[in-house]
Structure 1
């Protein structure tokens, strides 16, 4: 498990304005994000939508008896200059037991990065929250990966407050801008 220095994570979250655009307190620990094509997320580095089209594996310093929530959000929808859909959530998973994604409740299926053409770099932020206990997410709509409906104007901070999650315990992020995979993603989202 990669362990980054807390100051490094916190510094990069502030340098790239993830704090305060998404959360008010940066996490102390790094969440390791690896895509099946051998691509690893390095904090703040640029990846392409093509590289991140499939769900990654996610690892962090989880305790076996604890439950966690994972969120992936884009605060730059449709652009960093005009974030009127902040945050667009790409992935939301709750009740992850002991860090095992196979023992979890998927609230929103993974959708890869799809920044519109000409909107520059978008930040894609992964956050892990430790839950106080196993939670009832029955009121949270379950969203498939073939529709973008109900994903815009999400707030992970509001969600965390509603479910008593506190501040994130681990995080990571990358940046991406338009490439030729984006139109294919949009076709898929039209269902």
Structure 2
């Protein structure tokens, strides 16, 4: 059995791994520059960051077991919406998403013994059309302050969503249907008793 190290500071990713009974240890969040490169496509951006996080975690913790890195981006058209800088920025993002469809792209990368495997998840999310007062009320909850796109689908932000096609867990931050085959490849168990 291989030990799993999670190179992420996201409590949501840790919760999702725990939900399916994966034994793991959380590493300090890797210091990775998350600035998109000029002209970088959103799929390439998310895949690059997931790999960079896994490789940084592996480099900082040798010898190590398998290191899992992940990244999630909210994409409107071809524009990557990161985490909001402040509440006004969060409101601007929510106004842009209001009543429209966007993509949530999640990438996972698993590094083990000089090898790495990766997977991408693309989910289409359509927001309800809500009045500005409701968007302001959501921003005031503070829930979206540390989340890509300024919202969290697993919490109060569920009320923003009209429909979803794809991976719910990918929108939360770790697409389990893509992550579990990587764990199987690395001989990392799941469904373990807590």
Which structure has the larger Rg? 2
Question: What band does the TM-score fall into relative to the shorter chain?
Answer: 0.3 to 0.5
Higher helix proportion (structure 1 or 2)? 2
